[in-house]
Amino acid sequence: MLYHSTRNKALCVSSAEAIAQGISKDGGLFVPESIPALSAADFDALKGLSYAERAARLFALYLTDFTAEELRECTRAAYESGSFETPAVQEISTLADGSMLLELWHGPTCAFKDMALQILPHFLTRAIKKTGIDREVVILTATSGDTGKAALAGFKDVPGTRILVFYPVDGVSPMQKRQMQTQEGANVGVCAVKGNFDDCQNGVKAIFTDPKMQEILAANGMQFSSANSINWGRLVPQIVYYVSAYVTMLEKGILNNGDRFALTVPTGNFGNILAAWYAKQMGVPITHLVCASNINKVLTDFIDTGVYDRNRDFHTTVSPSMDILISSNLERLLYHMTGEDDAQIREWFGALKTDGRYEISRELRNRIQAEFSGAYFDDAQTKAMIGKVFSETGYLSDTHTAVGICAARDYTAKAADKYPMLIASTANPYKFGAAVLEAVGVDAGDADEYAVLDLLQQKSGMKIPAALAELKTKPVRFEDVTAQEDMAEYVKASLGIK
């Protein structure tokens, strides 16, 4: 299996190269030349296997330059070394209305990002060896809160790697900030950026694709890579959990062979929902994909009108990991759905850069609408849904998942055909404790983020994740703040190069 760039179809690299580079030098994203198909017998063959074993078999379809044994080593290290609190790695919970939550947040940093970022460092260190480049890998990551911590946890003290994380100074939850500022490890760095997530992401993309920076790094025996969902090594593990979830639903008799289901994904950078789309192309019987947004509803508008327009106010919300106006992974979807029209992708994403806007044809919009719909909900609706679900069932959902529940219920109410609904549950509610506490009707007063954990436990009876409770005793290591235009200098200074 080879990979092309969305902006240059003639470019062909191996999966190891795609993972090692992170983003193509032309600014495009790496995409597989074809999408493997799974038959009913293939799904059957995955029944009864551990998550790690399922993952290893599925990775083999995409990462064809890794041996089966290498993939097993990677999946065992990621999913069977005790960093996930549940042996199944992912869980499915059912709500009172029959909809199901695919809980993807049982990993060490309490968000779904762990599903991919616990394994990415294992892929990456092997990929570097395979590409024959003997350089230290510098992971640059822009985060809206969850990727940063998950990447830090994954790359902490991994030999041959360094990691630098940039987050928007006022754009993450207090707990997310604590998680990053207290990160341990000799090869890690964390810095706030004066700006929002898009500023962080643009800053990181600019550093990555700057030939001069690449030269400077190479001269110092280093090379950049990415832990953001622009890296193909992030997306494949996400495809895996959708395939695995389907197999689990078959095993449990929730679905029978031939049954279809709808899927809702709370969306920001479009990585998670794109992984679901790939799973659908592979044969997972998903009828429809509901793209749930908060008030930063650029994707809802895009799906409705065919116009992608980032020229609008940016809002900070109670679901900060979805506060994004440039959803990078949409580029991959459009590449596939235009029949791999790289010239068209160059035109649109060039326009996005210069004018902040592009418009697709009506015909393409119709095809996107046949597979996707978008819906958005504001903070008040999100909190009301957390309260409602909690009083209906005692189930506590986080703010991002709650946006998904809103969208799922809205879709189901309007849909002509009724299919079982699966909703991606993306974070542990304790990660966004203050908003969740208010949503279930408790006044936090001036409680700090740790007191909030206790209050939420008293109210819900849900166990506080140890990974969050223990932050209280950890020293704050990183308090730097930089301007977007100074990020490149900051990177050089942290790496000790001139």
Question: 484 by DSSP, 3-state: which?
Answer: helix
- Using CB under 6 A, pick the residue from 179, 225, 267, 293 that binds ligand PLP: 267
Binding pattern to ligand PLP, positions 381-400, x when CB under 6 A?
-------------------x
Q: How far apart are CA 424 and CA 237, in angstroms?
A: 15
The structure tokens listed for 363 are 């015909």
Q: How far apart are CA 357 and CA 424, in angstroms?
A: 29
The CA distances from residue 401 to 103, 111, 307, in Å, are 9, 11, 26
Number of residues that bind ligand PLP (CB under 6 A): 16
- Using CB under 6 A, pick the residue from 115, 200, 427, 491 that binds ligand PLP: 427
For ligand PLP, give the closer residue by CB, 93 or 494. Answer: 93
Tell me how far, at minimum, the Cβ of 171 lies from ligand PLP, in Å.
13
The structure tokens listed for 267 are 């969306």
Please report whether residue 14 would count as binding ligand PLP according to CB under 6 A. Answer: no
Segment lying near ligand PLP (by CB under 6 A), choices 19-27, 91-99, 154-162, 265-273:
265-273
Please report whether residue 379 would count as binding ligand PLP according to CB under 6 A. Answer: no
Q: Which of 30, 35, 33 is nearest to 281 (CA)?
A: 35
Please report whether residue 266 would count as binding ligand PLP according to CB under 6 A. Answer: yes
Name the active-site residue from 9, 47, 113, 149: 113
The DSSP code for 291 is E
What is the footprint of ligand PLP within residues 268-287 (CB under 6 A)?
A: 268-272
Please report whether residue 149 would count as binding ligand PLP according to CB under 6 A. Answer: no
CA 359 to chain centre: 25
For ligand PLP, give the closer residue by CB, 14 or 382. Answer: 382
Tell me how far, at minimum, the Cβ of 428 lies from ligand PLP, in Å.
9
Please report whether residue 167 would count as binding ligand PLP according to CB under 6 A. Answer: no
- Using CB under 6 A, pick the residue from 21, 83, 182, 426 that binds ligand PLP: 426
- Using CB under 6 A, pick the residue from 35, 190, 276, 322 that binds ligand PLP: 322
Tell me how far, at minimum, the Cβ of 319 lies from ligand PLP, in Å.
7
Q: How far apart are CA 288 and CA 290, in angstroms?
A: 6
Q: How far apart are CA 498 and CA 487, in angstroms?
A: 14
Is 113 labeled as catalytic in the residue annotation?
yes
What are the strands, taking DSSP E only, across 6-66? 8-13, 30-32
The structure tokens listed for 382 are 């999100």
Number of helices (H), then strands (E), in the chain: 22, 16
Please report whether residue 75 would count as binding ligand PLP according to CB under 6 A. Answer: no
For ligand PLP, give the closer residue by CB, 66 or 167. Answer: 167
The CA distances from residue 490 to 166, 190, 310, in Å, are 10, 11, 27
Contacts of 312 (CB under 8 A, 6+ apart): 298, 325
Q: Which residues pair with 91 in a beta bridge?
A: 103
Tell me how far, at minimum, the Cβ of 57 lies from ligand PLP, in Å.
24
The secondary structure element, H or E, covering residue 165 is: strand 161-168
Please report whether residue 229 would count as binding ligand PLP according to CB under 6 A. Answer: yes
Please report whether residue 118 would count as binding ligand PLP according to CB under 6 A. Answer: no
Tell me how far, at minimum, the Cβ of 328 lies from ligand PLP, in Å.
9
Phi (first) and psi of residue 38, to 5 degrees: -110, 135
For ligand PLP, give the closer residue by CB, 262 or 322. Answer: 322
Q: How far apart are CA 273 and CA 330, in angstroms?
A: 10
What is the footprint of ligand PLP within residues 77-96 (CB under 6 A)?
A: none
Please report whether residue 146 would count as binding ligand PLP according to CB under 6 A. Answer: yes
Interacting residues with ligand PLP (CB under 6 A): 111, 113, 146, 229, 266-272, 321-322, 400, 426-427
**Residues known to be catalytic:** 113
